[in-house]
Structure 1
Amino acid sequence: MGLRPDPGLSLALPYGQRVTVGDLRGAPALLVLVPGAFTPLCTNELRDVAAARGALAPARVLVVSCDTAATLDAWRSSEAADVEVASDSWPHGEVSRALAAFDEATGWSLRRTVLLDDSGMVVWTDLAPGGRARDVGDAVAAVARLGGDDR
Structure 2
Amino acid sequence: MRLKWVVDICMDRRQKLIRDLELNVSTIIRRFKKEMSDLFDNNITNHEFLFLHAVSKHQPQMISALAKELDVATSFVTVVTDKLIHKGYIHRERSQKDRRIVELTLTDEGNKLCKQMEKIKNEFMLKNFEKFTVEELEILNLLILKWRGEE
TM-score between the two structures when normalised by the length of structure 2: 0.28
Higher-Rg structure is 2
TM-score between the two structures when normalised by the length of structure 1: 0.28
Which gives a bigger RCO, structure 1 or 2 (Cα 8 Å, sep 6+)? Answer: 1
Larger strand percent: 1
